[in-house]
Structure 1
Amino acid sequence: MILCAVLVLGGAALLLLGFRGLRGQLPRNRYVGVRTPAAMRSDDAFELANRVAGPAMLAGGAVAVLAGVSLPMLAAAFSVVMVAVIGLVGAFALMTVGGVMGNRAAEALPAPAPTGGCAGCAGGCCGGLQQD
């Protein structure tokens, strides 16, 4: 029964994460979503990475929920273990595929251009260089 709850709750969390990522409603944070260096470099990169990862996250969540819901209906212990393992491995694999795809999309996004101040050398702190 505990395994059923873990699969269903974990799958529901993946479904919510995938849904929010797909819709662009997932704010950049340190805890959930695609959090690779490429995805974390800007809000746009984070949103793109999670939009791309969204469908795989939804599929992983659906696999986990379906596996968790089907466990009580199985009679043989071997079948229970097999469905649980397939649900866990399937959800993890789909989550990983989504993360890789999201990271690749974020890497393809051009790096944000520096704005004024020292990064753009417009604030007079260019190390003694004169600007015209």
Structure 2
Amino acid sequence: MRRGVLLDTRPLVAFLNRRDEYHEWAMAQWSQIVPPMATCEAVLSEACFLLSRMHGGSEPIMDLLQRKIIVSSFRLEDQIQPIQKLLKKYRSVPMSLADACLVRISELYPENRLLTLDSDFGLYRRNGRQMIPAITPQ
């Protein structure tokens, strides 16, 4: 069982959407994880938007939050300078706000691994040079 997992948008969407091509992979990963998984409000916003056309929309996300399966304690206003630095550094990728927040969370909690489907995390570095430990299907 895995503890200390950071959650990106696509694995959350894949877990909740049976039609998603990565649904089975996401289900298998979630079964190996001891909650809670940490994330940020930018990830939750992206996921709610992506699930908005699905039956139930964002309700399953709110349920996961209420049950503390996922938690969002990251406060963007407390991390403006490091986030701005990341967004500027990776402007050419480009880096989303959600990705910048996850990189910053991984800097604050270096023992955690990131559950993601986003290959850009192979390019991003925490603390300038360190790869972000990730759980991916590759």
TM-score range, shorter chain: under 0.3
TM-score, normalising length from structure 2?
Answer: 0.27
Per the normalisation by structure 1, the TM-score is 0.28
Q: Whose strand proportion is higher, 1 or 2?
A: 2
More helix by share: 1
Asked which structure has the greater CA Rg, the reply is 1
